[in-house]
Chain A
Amino acid sequence: MSALAAAIQVLGGLALAPLLPGTIQSLKARMQGRRGPSPLQPYRELRRLWGKSLADPQPTTIVYRLAPCVLAATTGLAILLVPVGGLSPGWGLGDDALVLVGLLALGRFALAAASWDTGSGFALMGASRDLTLAVAAEALLVLAIVLAAIPADSTGLAAMSAAANGSGIWSEPGHWCAAGAFGLIVVFETGRQPIDNPDTHLELTMIHEGPLLEYAGRDLALLQWSAAARHWIVLVLAAELFLPHWGGFGAQLVCLLAGVALLCVGLALTETAQAKMRILRAPALLAGGCLLAMVGLASWLAGGLV
């Protein structure tokens, strides 16, 4: 069972991850009445980039060249921490939620440092906006972790998933608040509207795309895979911790699949219905999420409704 979970982690994270942004893009196009690219488009992009030569903006150092590898490595390790079907094979890395937060932060550090290395205004603009939003997002993420840790009495991701198993937890208002708060994290980490627009081609409006501007070839392929893998991490995490799931490993896998599909539809819907927010308004949105999480915490600690 554990071996199967491990296989799903690796294969899913590595191979299925690009399918998620592809599906969202394709769904979005349908909703907007366009034909749009096929869900497999990200794979074609990755294949094309893998064969291209690298670019080396002048003057850069090893920090610029190493950043895509560090980002992809931390994202890859983060995938191994996320439980699937309520099981966390461990890999000797444990399954602590805060370690996951730390790994994502290391990737962010690497990419922002690379932006400084190029000295490109657009890259730095994106990095500085990303880091600004990350301040509120990190507080929100940790508060969502606290909310999920209350029923589990642990910050282990598998324990949190087990505690959210079944329908009993949904009678707690605190869990609804947690789900809402984590929804904002999903939007932020996947870089989607209303916080960021993944389709923008205007450098001045980019957030997550900005630091990628200078990269080419395999470097860019690694970065794009990392962005797709971040979709996998937060969507699977959202489904495992904050969407309904029941029963044993098999049943939970079905729930996971349904949950991730539902989230993809949800993201495509918000992208269709919602315009991008002014960047300076986004921290207020995330801070509102923090408030929601606090209300949820108060409700949990006051004993809930039941």
Chain B
Amino acid sequence: MSGLDWLAGAGVALLAAGSLAPVLRLRAAGALTFQALGVGLLGAAGALVLFGAPAIGAGFHDGLSPRLGIDGLTGFFLATIAIVAAPSLVYARDYLAGAARGRALVGLSGLFLLSLVAVVTARDPSSFLASWELMTLVPAAAILVQRSDAAVRHAVFVYLAITHLGGAGVWISVLALAHYGALGDPGAIAAQGSGVQALVIVSALIGFGTKAGLMPMHSWLPRAHPVAPSHISALMSGVMIKVALYGLIRVLFEWAAPAPLWAGLVVLALGLLSALGGVLYALVQHDLKRLLAFHSIENVGIVVLGLGASILFASGGDTTWAAIAFAAALLHILNHGVFKALLFLAAGAFERAVGSLDVDRIGGLLRRMPWTGGAFLIGSMAIAGVPPLNGFASEWLTLQALIHVALGPSLGLGLAGAIAVAGLAATAALALFCFVKAVGLVLLGAPRRPEAAAAVEAPAGMRSGMVFLAGCCVALGAAPGLLVPSLMALAPQPHHLATEPSLRIPGTGSLPSPWLLLGIVALTGLLWLLRGSRRAVPVPTWACGQRIEPALAWSSAGFTKPLRLVLEGILRPRREITTVQEHGLVRSVSYRGEIPHLFDTMLYGPVQRQALAAARIARRIQSGSVRAYAGYLLALLLVLLVLARAGAIG
């Protein structure tokens, strides 16, 4: 056994030991430390394989005997899991201190991580599917352990129902792949002809897409992520949906490869719908965690746009850009994991400090919670895609890939690429809009309620987790070029790129990210000095001479009003204004507005109603009397006998 085997083995052992905390009666903080160390070791092993160490463990096979192994792609996902999970677990040490049923939650966190690791290291269909199911069920248990009021139970039910219905797609595609021997021998599916390939790809898109939160299969995500404890939300948004993308990548780029052109276009369309739809609905949310959950849909869409572009390039024979687009998707997976986990952890800290996540009722926390607030600000800028942070680097790369789809040579693909380019640019602008709003309402201005004015900074453990992730946002933004060549090497047709901090890619004006960071910081600092430290005159904010009162404070709905008006046809807002008049005198005006989630009202609602109606019809034959059931059995037997006599079966 090599040193890497030992490293990975030690990681799994530590993680398992940490997960057994409730049974072993270990202290919660100790158990979380064990888990963080374990996942860190696993991530280190993964990173070593990613950066060129030989793969360890078994390769893929189609039999039933369970096997595990780490290759380059698995290594990348293990490293991503570690970067997101280790700080989340450190955060959880203080976050869960004194929480109800903290020890059970600690055990479930570890089990959740084990199942995530198992999905990406599984090398046979049975352990893949088993860990896949475990990965779905454990967070549901973790949510219910902490809260079990009716609303939460409903959210968990919807989560399980939708992910299991969609999850059937995963079973179909993986079992079909195993049946044709395609796990161990990529190319076997292509040999079976386009019908089988289409079945595998479509069922994988539905199955993995549901779990990844791709629109229109996303409806569970904004319900389930907000109700989980914050470190579990961070893991669900930061890692779990990425592990679903891992499955999709394996199918599209390895097991069912080469994916045909239509698959690329479908993937591109799903990505665009998710990116734009996710960010549009995020903009109109009032609950911070729900807003973040919708942004996960948006970012999965951006990743999938990169994957779609990669398929289109590969089918057109441009292997260089196919590899770049593939690397862009992987880079965004890592980047989104980092900043989304950071934002969820910060949301958890705000909720503890203020007691509510209604963005209209927080305000002014940057002053009260400088560490958490500063980390939240960096995470928001990263997700808004502004330089020099990591979100910009991967969005830049994805946008470059889409632009090179649009550059042709074919007219149809060029137009598809141009639509995707325009859509992604609009998505980036909308994300910036949304996070300016979130930052403004949560961190800036005057406190909007007494609890916000009296908020205290999070304890050191929580702070350190968030500060670490904020540091990752800056580091990954400053030197994406150190990672991208290794990611391009994972593409089906690897392509070489020099390893340096900047991204110098032919056909672009290059992204010299370290210099950009240096330039922005140095120039801002210089201007700060020039501006001088003259005494500023404290003045009240200008409101045409009126006094600024809390009732005049701008709300989330007010800030997004122009956009709501422009997009009225798409968002279909509903509002009710009731005016009570007495003798021609207005006594009171009440306003109620909401933006219905159109996918719920127009897609899921009708489907649900039809399903219930079908169930009512089915109930008619379920009389409950034994004689009726005996009659059904007899009838079945007769039908089978008749068929057998006719030679149709047997």
In the complex, the answer to whether B422 meets A102 with C-beta atoms within 8 Å is no
B208 CB within 8 Å of chain A: no
Contact with A94, one of B410, B425, B430, B510 (Cβ below 8 angstroms): B510
In the complex, the answer to whether B440 meets A117 with C-beta atoms within 8 Å is yes
- Given contact pairs A112-B440, A158-B509, a sample of 19 additional A-B residue pairs in the complex whose CB atoms are under 8 Å apart: A54-B534, A54-B537, A55-B536, A73-B519, A92-B512, A94-B512, A105-B429, A118-B541, A119-B541, A120-B542, A124-B559, A127-B559, A135-B430, A153-B407, A153-B507, A214-B542, A218-B531, A218-B534, A301-B410
Whole-angstrom distance between the Cβ of B615 and the nearest chain A Cβ: 43
**For residues 421 through 454 of chain B, which have their beta carbon under 8 Å from a beta carbon of chain A?**
421-426, 428-430, 432-433, 435-437, 439-441, 443-446
Contact with B along A217-230 (1 / 0, CB 8 A): 11100100000000
B326 CB within 8 Å of chain A: no
Query: Chain B interface: which of A3-11, A13-21, A63-71, A188-196?
Result: A63-71
Q: Which of B418, B428, B532 has the most chain A CB atoms closer than 10 A to its own CB? A: B418
Whole-angstrom distance between the Cβ of B248 and the nearest chain A Cβ: 26
In the complex, the answer to whether B384 meets A109 with C-beta atoms within 8 Å is yes
Query: Chain B interface: which of A32-40, A143-151, A235-243?
Result: A143-151
Whole-angstrom distance between the Cβ of B621 and the nearest chain A Cβ: 54
CB pairs A–B below 8 angstroms (22 shown): A53-B536, A60-B444, A69-B528, A73-B524, A73-B527, A94-B512, A102-B392, A102-B396, A109-B386, A116-B436, A117-B445, A119-B553, A127-B559, A128-B562, A128-B563, A132-B562, A142-B425, A157-B509, A217-B534, A218-B530, A280-B566, A297-B406
**For residues 116 through 164 of chain A, which have their beta carbon under 8 Å from a beta carbon of chain B?**
116-122, 124, 127-129, 131-132, 134-143, 145-146, 149-150, 153-159
> In the complex, what residues of A have CB within 8 A of residue B559's CB?
124, 127-128
Q: For B418, give the chain A residue with the smallest CB separation.
A: A297
Contact with B along A65-100 (1 / 0, CB 8 A): 110111011101100010000000000111111110
> In the complex, what residues of A have CB within 8 A of residue B367's CB?
59, 61
Contact with B544, one of A119, A203, A302 (Cβ below 8 angstroms): A203
> In the complex, what residues of A have CB within 8 A of residue B443's CB?
61, 63
In the complex, the answer to whether B426 meets A135 with C-beta atoms within 8 Å is yes
Q: For B397, give the chain A residue with the smallest CB separation.
A: A98
Contact with A155, one of B409, B424, B509 (Cβ below 8 angstroms): B509
B523 CB within 8 Å of chain A: yes
In the complex, the answer to whether B541 meets A214 with C-beta atoms within 8 Å is yes
> In the complex, what residues of B have CB within 8 A of residue A94's CB?
502, 509-512
B560 CB within 8 Å of chain A: yes
> In the complex, what residues of B have CB within 8 A of residue A119's CB?
444-446, 541, 548, 553-554
> In the complex, what residues of B have CB within 8 A of residue A54's CB?
531, 534-537
In the complex, the answer to whether A77 meets B422 with C-beta atoms within 8 Å is no
> In the complex, what residues of B have CB within 8 A of residue A277's CB?
none
Q: For A157, give the chain B residue with the smallest CB separation.
A: B509
> In the complex, what residues of B have CB within 8 A of residue A132's CB?
433, 562-563, 566
Residues of B within 8 A of A (CB): 364, 366-367, 377, 381, 384-387, 392, 396, 399-400, 403, 406-411, 414-415, 418-419, 421-426, 428-430, 432-433, 435-437, 439-441, 443-446, 502, 506-512, 515-516, 519-520, 523-524, 526-528, 530-532, 534-544, 548, 552-554, 558-563, 565-566
| CB contact under 8 A between A76 and B523, given known A109-B386, A121-B543, A279-B562 | yes
In the complex, the answer to whether A55 meets B436 with C-beta atoms within 8 Å is no
| CB contact under 8 A between A93 and B516, given known A54-B537, A128-B561, A132-B566 | yes
A115 CB within 8 Å of chain B: yes
Cα-based distance from A66 to B529 in the complex (angstroms): 11
In the complex, the answer to whether A73 meets B516 with C-beta atoms within 8 Å is no
| CB contact under 8 A between A113 and B436, given known A54-B537, A94-B509 | yes
| CB contact under 8 A between A155 and B403, given known A119-B548, A127-B436 | yes
A245 CB within 8 Å of chain B: no
Query: Is chain A's interface secondary structure helix, strand, loop, or mixed overall?
Result: helix
A57 CB within 8 Å of chain B: yes
Cα-based distance from A74 to B561 in the complex (angstroms): 28
Would you list the 5 A-B pairs with minimal beta carbon distance, nearest first? A116-B440, A96-B509, A156-B509, A56-B536, A73-B523
In the complex, the answer to whether A105 meets B386 with C-beta atoms within 8 Å is yes
| CB contact under 8 A between A135 and B524, given known A53-B536, A108-B432 | no
In the complex, the answer to whether A66 meets B542 with C-beta atoms within 8 Å is no
| CB contact under 8 A between A222 and B436, given known A58-B541, A103-B387, A139-B423 | no
> In the complex, what residues of A have CB within 8 A of residue B386's CB?
102, 105-106, 109
Contact with B540, one of A58, A69, A283 (Cβ below 8 angstroms): A58
> In the complex, what residues of B have CB within 8 A of residue A213's CB?
542
Cα-based distance from A225 to B366 in the complex (angstroms): 29
Contact with B439, one of A72, A73, A108, A113 (Cβ below 8 angstroms): A113
Whole-angstrom distance between the Cβ of B525 and the nearest chain A Cβ: 8
Contact with B432, one of A103, A105, A124 (Cβ below 8 angstroms): A105
| CB contact under 8 A between A116 and B509, given known A109-B384, A139-B425, A149-B407 | no
> In the complex, what residues of A have CB within 8 A of residue B558's CB?
124, 128
In the complex, the answer to whether B399 meets A218 with C-beta atoms within 8 Å is no
A290 CB within 8 Å of chain B: yes
Whole-angstrom distance between the Cβ of A154 and the nearest chain B Cβ: 5
> In the complex, what residues of A have CB within 8 A of residue B519's CB?
73, 77, 93
> In the complex, what residues of A have CB within 8 A of residue B410's CB?
301
> In the complex, what residues of A have CB within 8 A of residue B419's CB?
294
In the complex, the answer to whether A92 meets B515 with C-beta atoms within 8 Å is yes
Cα-based distance from A66 to B377 in the complex (angstroms): 14
In the complex, the answer to whether A142 meets B543 with C-beta atoms within 8 Å is no
Contact with A301, one of B414, B536, B538 (Cβ below 8 angstroms): B414
> In the complex, what residues of B have CB within 8 A of residue A283's CB?
566
A298 CB within 8 Å of chain B: yes
In the complex, the answer to whether A55 meets B537 with C-beta atoms within 8 Å is yes
In the complex, the answer to whether A77 meets B523 with C-beta atoms within 8 Å is yes
In the complex, the answer to whether B418 meets A53 with C-beta atoms within 8 Å is no
Cα-based distance from A146 to B425 in the complex (angstroms): 12
| CB contact under 8 A between A143 and B421, given known A72-B527, A77-B520 | yes
In the complex, the answer to whether B508 meets A154 with C-beta atoms within 8 Å is yes
> In the complex, what residues of B have CB within 8 A of residue A106's CB?
381, 386-387, 520
Contact with B509, one of A57, A64, A92, A154 (Cβ below 8 angstroms): A154
Cα-based distance from A124 to B559 in the complex (angstroms): 7
Cα-based distance from A217 to B511 in the complex (angstroms): 35
> In the complex, what residues of B have CB within 8 A of residue A138's CB?
425-426, 428-429
Whole-angstrom distance between the Cβ of B137 and the nearest chain A Cβ: 40
In the complex, the answer to whether B403 meets A146 with C-beta atoms within 8 Å is yes
In the complex, the answer to whether A55 meets B539 with C-beta atoms within 8 Å is yes
In the complex, the answer to whether B507 meets A154 with C-beta atoms within 8 Å is yes
